[in-house]
Chain A
């Protein structure tokens, strides 16, 4: 069993509290991604699990044992670093086997483990080269190989793809996923890239200001964010937040965006929001794909309105359109054939079945 448990973990540097009491349960074989902006405490958390940082408060358990004071080498973990951290004077094979040689494994076993890892990562022909002779992607594979041969309880990845170019990053992302499917080792992966988090994770942990904002599967976070931070962080382009308030018009609950624009809420949404104080300052959260060109026949819950576009960004498969409502810039996503042009008027439709309503002051999704 190699489940990882964090209980009220705190990390304080002098005056600064980098991690402010986080609780997290990572199941055996699970791939968990810690994601958040820089300085949110995700790397610190990972380094505390690795034993590279002392824990100021709380407990970290691996396989049920508290490992707060266990030195890194006895935690049975392996770590992959952003800058690969390969030993420059050793060959690929020596790099991969360093840990095993220190532990005095028999030569034959070291060789078979290195061979197997090299085969898995497709670096068999590189084993006699020095790191300097490898490309970034190859170095990252070697760093992963070094982790794999140790056959540890937990893999820790610290922004492993950040030094790679965009194309290679996508390729290595798939590679990491494949490796995890093969070895099934519990993995904690830190990144600031929400796309990486979404594509790799069984569960994503969104962190901000040293706290966990939300834990959930990628789909949960995308469709049911708990806070404004998560709603805005997950998804690209980001969710639109439009200042609004609720009002009752003729017995139906409406959401009013501007003096001119007000939409009746679909029945399910109206039921959910009927207890919300009407005077509260609210935000209407809408993802770009839920603001599209208006069609002649509208489904229930889809409401159309006219705007004048500021800018359009044709992406080929779709076109992002930007317009302004009362000073708030809003992004929509329309069909490339919808006739969107810079500065031109367009009739758009919002899908209120997928709307989110947030309290502007607390940032909580209602």
Chain B
């Protein structure tokens, strides 16, 4: 019979494991504390909107608890959704956003490919230039842009101002630089050998772009698409400046223009309209979140 020696050195290791675990616990507690803080910070306004949208105008003006609905009603929703005006704004917003996203992607994907891959004289400077354009605030640009369209109208007789499609020209000045920048980053993370292999396989630049780069960079393209959509859906200043007729307005401007009459704010309907207006981006984010994250963190890790 032989005895088996039992290793007694375990406690030492356990101590270390314990302290590691304590560090981790604290890190987690702090994370959750701040996560809760930020979640409240960003979720309270929409919650407030939801609560207010379910109240009648009498309850809103009464000094009751603003965080509670005593007599819930769907009247705001019914009024908004049966109003032709609101549906028109919604339609305008949708048209503008869809066209802008399409135009943006048609410009920025090939542009980013050219800037990232086709080494030509000045391509690096141009890439930086694209990003710098994005840094110029729209508040600086709307006056010169307005002047440009006015002059263009005088000379050609083509009136762009106060037509919803003027936004199709204006919005890409915001979306194209940023989307190009995202896509340059994404394309740059694709190994050089991949296009070299494609070139040796006999692909042209266009084929390399369409058959290799676009499929491989698909998460990046989704991220850029979502960005372009969000920007054009939420844009306020440009449509406020460039469109004035009710039938040409997009959603954010439409809600403000029609639901604020003088100093009378139809708060219930404003909240309802804003909430309904926030729905499409929310739905898109929810479905494409994984792609979006993969797109924005591209290059951080390999593969």
Contact = CB atoms under 8 A, between A and B. Distances in A.
Nearest to B212: A87
A86 B193 CA distance: 9
| Secondary structure call for the A interface | loop
Given A87-B212, A89-B215, A89-B216, A73 B194 contact: no
| Secondary structure call for the B interface | helix
A320 B256 CA distance: 87
A330 interface: no
B200 interface: yes
A88 interface: yes
A79 B216 contact: no
B191 interface: yes
Interface string A72-112: 11000111011101111100000000110011000000000
Nearest to A50: B200
B201 interface: yes
Contacts, number: 56
Interface in B172-214: 191, 193-194, 196-203, 207, 211-212
Contacts of B215: 89
A50, A81, A82 — most chain B CB neighbours (10 Å): A81
Contact of A85 (B191, B211, B303): B191
Interface residues of A, number: 24
Nearest to A80: B197
B199 A88 contact: no
Nearest to B214: A89
A103 B202 contact: yes
Contacts of A82: 193
Nearest to B195: A85
Contact of B201 (A51, A88, A99, A132): A99
Nearest to A98: B201
Given A83-B191, A83-B193, A85-B193, A72 B216 contact: no
Given A87-B212, A88-B216, A89-B215, A73 B191 contact: no
A150 B202 CA distance: 10
B201 A77 contact: no
Contacts of B196: 50, 52, 79, 81, 85
Interface in A254-291: none
Contacts of B216: 87-89
Interface string A45-88: 00000111000000000000000000111000111011101111
Given A85-B193, A87-B212, A89-B216, A78 B200 contact: yes
B113 to A, nearest CB: 16
Nearest to B196: A52
Interface of B: 191, 193-194, 196-203, 207, 211-212, 215-216, 218, 303
Interface of A: 50-52, 71-73, 77-79, 81-83, 85-89, 98-99, 102-103, 132, 146, 150
Given A52-B200, A132-B303, 19 more contacts: A50-B196, A51-B200, A72-B199, A72-B200, A73-B199, A73-B201, A73-B202, A73-B203, A81-B193, A82-B193, A83-B193, A85-B193, A88-B216, A98-B198, A98-B201, A99-B200, A99-B201, A102-B203, A103-B202
Sorted from nearest, which 7 A-B pairs have the closest CB atoms?
A: A99-B201, A85-B193, A73-B202, A85-B197, A89-B215, A81-B193, A102-B202
